[in-house]
Chains A and B, each alone.
Chain A
């Protein structure tokens, strides 16, 4: 308990911490950094996280676009484990996210076939195209879940299991239940499950901090699911406290 932190005034913020950009092959080309920030603001969000498949190359551009609009943007990746479980990794700084990205890239086999999987556009905060990522971002890494969680933590990040209510690419779908020894920081349910009913809808998540997110691949989907956060300001350190339920910070089911 930190008395200085505890006495800070706490407010409510809206967060959608799993949004793709045009870098994800399955992401719409309209998902440029500038427009993601603008649409997030339009949707009433205070904080978002950019989580492309196995990459954080567009995170910096969305962060800069968000700065101009007073939108907090966390850099992140949605990493695919060798079990084909998707986990969202969130970081405080772009440097940490890039450190994780390099670790992932070294363990991500294959090259993208744009005709099959789609384009992987790297863009700047003005939505200008800078290039194309050649890696097979849609693929699975050779990392098991424990290795991913350990490395995310080593980079100072938070690890949240993506859309656990889904039958595939999900911790519960692929592994049947959450391994009790997995040091995950939280779990995410998809927009299909109201957060207020998540614990009764999805078996085996009662002991974990639970959030929801849009997992938007199209602009119109940004904010289709969001969660409330009671905390001092929309930032990574406060989100970490809210996930842990520290000093009055908490997740609020909308």
Chain B
């Protein structure tokens, strides 16, 4: 039982990170049909900026604010200088642009920061809590609470505010949204800013557990993408569920089956699910209207 709980908490913590990356994918995909493969870089920026700000003597809250601001600016630049000028291109072209942007951001980070791994102390100390025989780091709890708060905030934004309605309208039909007076360029820019902020907050929260370096984003983008696909691309609930499921599959796979094949186990399950439900767990079958 103690082992089960340990695997559970381990999987939830790692899964929460994937969920945040998947949420970032979802937000941008919904507004612009682009799958932004530079999403993992936002997580990297969050962790790296916080670390270097802390190292320079900036107090933690300010360092976190700085990290989120930096990521949002990078997100807006990504949209303004790379995506927006090519807005008439096909979605595939735009996706390739984001891959290029991701490589570029990694290179810049390697030069501005450095190539070493970094970490900073957890926000609530390093002494693990004992929960039913499992040792859980306080930071893991903070990560889970943080992810929960972000999901709630997103839900509030999407369903209770005018901006959220505009995002949904843009996602449903861009031309129609423009016709009723929605500034769709602004909405898409906003979605880039928001998903950059989500990524950065994720990076800030998890760095004390997972460490960070300039190319930590690649793998996260891959896992987050798998999570988003599993949950159903474009569905925020699916993104969170997909992230948690991938994290749990990895940790239970490593714990009960074989640590050598834990990634393979996770991906085999994902493939099997997508084989039966190509639209993902929570995705709607896409309908092409002619």
Q: Is the A/B pair a real complex?
A: no
Residues in chain A within 8 A of chain B (CB atoms): none
Residues in chain B within 8 A of chain A (CB atoms): none
